Amino acid sequence: MNILAIESSCDDTGAAVVKDGREVLSNIVASQVPEHIIYGGVVPEIASRRHCESIYAVVKEALKAAKTDLSEIDAVAVTAAPGLIGALLVGVNFAKGLSYAQNKPLIPVHHLRSHVASNYISHTDLKPPFIALIVSGGHTHLVNVKNYTDYEVIGRTRDDAAGEAMDKAARMLGLPYPGGLNMDKTCAFGDKNKYKFPKPRVDGSEFDFSFSGMKTSVINLIHNMQQKNEEIDIENIGASYMHCVTKVLCEKTQAAINKYKSDKLVIAGGVSANSVLRSEIKSLCEKNKISLYMPELKYCGDNAAMVGAQGYYEFISGNKSGLKLNGIASLDIDSAVFG
Ligand code: KG4
Ligand code: ZN
């Protein structure tokens, strides 16, 4: 089954053709980084307008690169939630138009489910059940993936997402957008023990995260250095901060592995590209003697191939949508019900 998939939840316009949920025939991403870099972050209205301008060309290119055309496409999948609403609506409406004009089924896909599914592409043997740590710009979740479309949220962030916390710290360090990626590039070899940040205390759930305290602490540290006219120790602050964020992610993940006795761990989302996290989580899995699945770097960030992968499993579970489909800015991964 060939799925044409579309992704426009944030600042990347993506289209892909994916066969049977696992084989990527094409994957085109039009990045908007040069548009947003001068603002230090994503400007939602600019993102929507750029999606609007590029989506036709990106979809056309995805079909061409897959050496196929619409007659060989069996269904259209699209990210319908969560995300920037104006950005989501561009993809959703384009997919609705295609579905209607071509008389093909329309499959709405939850963005975080698709991040998890990036691992189905990179690891064709991977099957649920497993525990997933999803770390993106907007979300940090620990999830029990019971089946391809059956999720139980174990823990989530109470405030900032891991990516947001990295982006904010990177911005304070004067690193360009996208902050997390540039912090990784600039600081990965710094002294990870030079600076300490407060370990978050989260009452009520041993699996929930909190990053706002650490974020405030790094901001205060940098302000302090600025006030004393000290040179900002970018490399070592960044290294210590990434280490601290990673430590929190690993501790909660370890608690989830202990409770659920899972023999498989999956990581997913933009922050799963982080070199410190990848190396620490690998050690954690080796220590626990469990299998680790990480997406290839090219599938960590937002892309449409992962939407095609999850779209396939949504389709075979009967999760299709009518032409009343709307974008939804905020929607839980475990109750991804669309109109
Ligand atoms: O999943 P994603 O592409 O978009 C959302 O769904 O939010 O994640 C974007 C986030 C940003 O916060 C970005 O800074 C972060 O992923 N990111 C990284 C790295 N690459 C991207 N964070 C740390 N290290 C990286 N190598
Ligand atoms: Zn994402």
> Which of the ligands is closest to the CA of residue 138?
1
Q: Evaluate: CB of 277 within 6 angstroms of ligand 1.
A: no
Task: Report residues near ion ligand 2: CB below 5 Å.
Answer: 136, 302
Q: Evaluate: CB of 28 within 6 angstroms of ligand 1.
A: no
Q: In this structure, how many other beta carbons lie within 10 angstroms of the beta carbon of residue 102?
A: 14
Q: Evaluate: CB of 190 within 6 angstroms of ligand 1.
A: no
Which three-class secondary structure state does DSSP give residue 118?
A: helix
Closest CA to 187 of 198, 204, 200, 174: 174
pLDDT in tens, 5-19: 999 999 999 999 999
Residue of minimum CA distance from atom 24 in ligand 1: 274
Q: Cβ(200)–Cβ(214) under 8 Å? A: yes
pLDDT in tens, 210-269: 999 999 999 999 999 999 999 999 999 999 999 999 999 999 999 999 999 999 999 999
Q: Evaluate: CB of 163 within 6 angstroms of ligand 1.
A: yes
Lookup: tokens for 132? 């997933």
CA of 278 to the centre of ligand 2 (A): 17
pLDDT in tens, 166-216: 999 999 999 999 999 999 999 999 999 999 999 888 988 899 999 999 999
Predicted confidence at residue 97, as pLDDT, reads 98
Residue of minimum CA distance from atom 22 in ligand 1: 180
Q: Which helix (H) or strand (E) holds 181?
A: helix 179-187
d(CA 142, CA 131): 7
Q: Which of 271, 272, 296 has the most ligand 1 atoms within 8 A of CB, as the residue to mutate? A: 271
* Ligand 1 atom closest to residue 185's alpha carbon, by position in its atom list: 26
Tell me: pLDDT of 98 over 90.
Answer: yes
pLDDT in tens, 100-136: 999 999 999 999 999 999 999 999 999 999 999 999 9
Q: Cβ(280)–Cβ(272) under 8 Å? A: no
Predicted confidence at residue 236, as pLDDT, reads 98
CA of 225 to the centre of ligand 2 (A): 33
d(CA 285, CA 240): 22
Identity (one letter) of the amino acid at 305? Answer: A
